[in-house]
Structure 1
Amino acid sequence: MTGIQEAKHHDTGYKELFFYPELVQQLIEGFFPEDIAELMDFATLKIHSGHYITPLFEEKIEDVD
């Protein structure tokens, strides 16, 4: 597997994981210190399927906001 293929393979897995806000919450609560996880408002997570160009002509791809 080339580096590009490996990156795409991992990217697909992360996109699948981050498609489900409840899994994002579990991930953050499981890996971050409690005082940091408590700062999150998980009810505000929403899916973004965006691939766009910013006003500064930077390419952006978003999945979760």
Structure 2
Amino acid sequence: MALVTTLIASGLGQYGAAMAASPRHDLGVHYTRLMAELANYSNDGAKIMIENGWMEQPPIAADRKKLAKD
């Protein structure tokens, strides 16, 4: 699943670079729309992974106060 999120992030970056490099100002509207659609697609994918238990919680720091009590 990490590969998918990497590809989506890469796609967003490529649209941003294309928008910045394009001499045509009218294409910025289309790139912005495509970026919004891609962000929604990514959000939907994350929700599906959470619902099915495929996305794990990232590692967190131990609770030092609780460890000190035990």
TM-score by length of 1: 0.33
Considering only CA atoms, is the larger Rg found in Structure 1 or Structure 2?
2
